């Protein structure tokens, strides 16, 4: 699931988002705002508690409680990709089971 989502994100970036101006073409876009494409992923992935272990995981970000070092984009980017696509956390399902899930799948 993570690989196909990452590929879809890469296509969206290459075909559309990378060609927009940051403010007028993206942040002020009513469609982006109405779909909560910025705020909801931030809320869902900012800090996650593993339902199986109780461990807390923070997204590598200047606005989260992430405690690791990320002085450059070169160091931050791999940590962010690891967090979003490789890290598996326990998510409690409706039937009470705890299922290991990649964080990117929470955004589907």
pLDDT per position as a tens digit, 37-48: 667 777 888 899
Question: What is the pTM for the complete model shown?
Answer: 0.66
Does residue 36 register a pLDDT over 80?
A: no
The structural domains of the chain, with segments of one domain joined by +, span 2-107
- Residues sharing a CB contact under 8 Å with residue 69, sequence separation 6 or more, in sequence order: 75
pLDDT for 1 equals 54
- Mean pLDDT within 18-47: 80
- Give which of 49, 77, 82, 79 is closest to 67, Cα–Cα: 79
pLDDT for 34 equals 77
């Amino acid at each position: 699931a993570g690989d196909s989502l990452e590929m879809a994100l890469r296509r969206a970036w290459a075909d559309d988002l990378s060609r927009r101006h940051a403010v007028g073409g993206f942040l002020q876009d009513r469609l982006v705002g109405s779909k909560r494409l910025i705020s909801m992923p931030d809320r869902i992935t900012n800090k996650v508690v593993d339902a199986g272990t109780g461990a807390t995981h923070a997204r590598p970000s200047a606005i989260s409680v992430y405690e690791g070092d990320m002085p450059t984009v070169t160091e931050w980017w791999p940590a962010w990709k690891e967090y979003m696509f490789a890290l598996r956390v326990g998510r409690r399902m409706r039937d009470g089971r705890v299922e290991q899930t990649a964080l990117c799948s929470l955004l589907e």
